Every structure is written in C-alpha cells, then in structure tokens.
Structure 1
Amino acid sequence: MRAFSHWINTMQRCDFPRRLRAARPGAWSLVLAAALCAPPLWAQQVPFGLGNVRNFPEAALRGKLAVLSTVDAELNGRAIRMAPGMRLFSPQNSLVMLHTVIGQSFKVNYVIEPSTGMLLTAWILTEAEAAQPRPAAK
C-alpha cells in the first residue's frame, strides 16, 4: 500500500494551465474574453437566403406534396407511396421528420425512384425557389 500511495504522490500531473499563466499572464483572460464575446454557434450560421443556393438534381420535378401519413402522400393530386428511405428537406436544407408534417401541403421539388415509382426525395421550396422555372410531372 505504501508503494501505491508513493506512486500517487509522485505521479506527474498535467500543469499546462499553470505553465501558461506563468508564461503569459493575460492569455487566460484573452481566451475567456473571446469565449464570452463570440456569438453563439446558432448565430454564426448564415441564415438561408443570404447567399445559400441549393442545387437540385437535374431529374428533380416540381409539384405539390401533401403528406397523408409516414408512408402515403399525395403528389399533384395523385396518391403515391414514399420510399422507406424517403428524405424531406426543409427550406433550410435540414431533414424533416415525416410524422411532424402529416396533413400539411408544400410546394416541392421531388425525385421519384425509377424502379419502384416511390417518392425518394423532396425539398420544400422557399418563395424564391418556387419562382424559378422547373419542369412539372407529365
């Protein structure tokens, strides 16, 4: 037991902060000031519409999407199934959980999975994006 306590007492501990204060007395105050004066992380992100441009795939079409359930939707007035990995993106380009938008309708750009005919991806459009021309479903 004595050997263990001796090892604990002589163990080298990291004294980097002490050495930093000794080398530069004002360094910690600069770090603290920078942390307190910096805007929060959410404010550092550029809001959508201020230079952000979403690039949609060439195959994306324009339409009106009404989410009926987590697996069923109505696209341009016709019933359609959503693919198991269906992704719905908000105007800020973040994922939208389908159960949170049941019963709502959106103007979207969308991609249909060719082999199954299911809705694979949809992007909810901003007013500026909706004003840009895009082919509609045939």
Structure 2
Amino acid sequence: MNRCTPALISQARKALSLSGLAVALLCAALPAQAQQVPGGMGEMRNFPDASLRGNLTVLAGSQATLNGNPIRMAPGMRLFTPQNTLVMLHTVQGQTFKVNYLVENSTGMLLSAWILTEGEAAQPRKGSGEIHFNFRTESDPVKK
C-alpha cells in the first residue's frame, strides 16, 4: 500500500521551500546590532573590587612574572584585551602589559588579568609590589 502519492510529495516540497524562504527573509529583516566595545570613547570597564594593579609578563607555559616576581598562572587563567576579548597566552609570550589582576586565594595562582587602556591605567587602584599567599613554608622568614 502506497500512502505517499506523487502529488502529496510535491506539495510537501513546496511547503518546505516556502517555510525556508520565510525564515531567510525574517533573518534578513532583523537589524544588525553594533557591538559595544568597552574602553573606547571614554567608557570604562568595571573590574572586581579585589583586583590589584601590576605589570604582567607572560613567560613560557604556565609561568609569568607579576611586578617582577615569578608567579604561576592557574590552569583556567584568562587574559582579556582592552576590548574584553580573550587572549591566547602563547601569542603574547615575552610581552609585558599594565594589568588589573586577580590572584586565587587558595593556591596563590594568577586567575584573571585585564590589559588596561591608557585611560584605565590612569585611574587609581591599589597595587602590590609583592604577592601575598595564605600559606607559609619553612624557608619563609618568621614575622614577629
């Protein structure tokens, strides 16, 4: 028993092509929205309150220096451009940037960093010349 007659198949094809055409026209009619790029025309990004200011140099692998001191980057470390896009760390090896950064409390690893524009760098923010950890080793000097 044949339930699909050639006339029924032809009608189904026409309906599919018309619905595809309607979707294409609908998508074409939607206005394209401009993407807002932070850091331009006086706009400032909002950084976490806990972020600090420093100079970051990305080295090979998960190694970096922050304010001249060696620091390990967390496995999920994110480096953002002034336009808030992600930077692949291997593309900026050996380069130094003025950044706002976050250090993970439990491991002391660098978690996130934002490359600053000149306007953002001019804004005051507390910086740190040294990296603070929440653990001590035997080689650490005893603080009294």
| Range class of TM-score, shorter chain | 0.7 to 0.9
**CA shift in 2, pair 1:94/1:117, >3 Å:** same
CA apart distance, 1:16 = 6.4
CA apart distance, 1:3 = 4.4
Counting only pairs closer than 5 Å after superposition, residues 5-20 of structure 1 correspond to structure 2 as 5-11=6-12, 13=15, 15=18
Do 2:44 and 2:120's aligned partners in 1 also have CA atoms closer than 8 Å? no
Query: 3-state SS of the aligned residue for 1:92?
Result: coil
Partner of 2:88: 97
| Separation in 2, partners of 1:134, 1:3 | 73
**CA shift in 2, pair 1:10/1:63, >3 Å:** closer
Give, as a single letter, the amino acid of the residue that structure 1 aligns with 2:35.
Answer: Q
Identity %, equivalent residues: 55
Partner of 1:82: 73
Query: 3-state SS of the aligned residue for 2:10?
Result: helix
CA apart distance, 1:8 = 1.1
1:11-70: CA deviation from partner (whole Å, max 9, x where unpaired)? 36254699xxxxxxxxx8xx98x78xx7x76xx223431253211111100000000023
| Separation in 2, partners of 1:98, 1:17 | 42
Give, as a single letter, the amino acid of the residue that structure 2 aligns with 1:8.
Answer: I
Pick the aligned partner of 2:97 from 95, 102, 106. Answer: 106
The TM-score normalised by the length of structure 1 is 0.73
Query: 3-state SS of the aligned residue for 2:15?
Result: coil
| Separation in 1, partners of 2:20, 2:110 | 56
- Which stretches in structure 1 are left out of the alignment for 5+ residues? 19-27
- Which stretches in structure 2 are left out of the alignment for 5+ residues? 131-144
Partner of 1:136: 127
Partner of 2:133: none
The TM-score normalised by the length of structure 2 is 0.71
| Separation in 1, partners of 2:58, 2:104 | 17
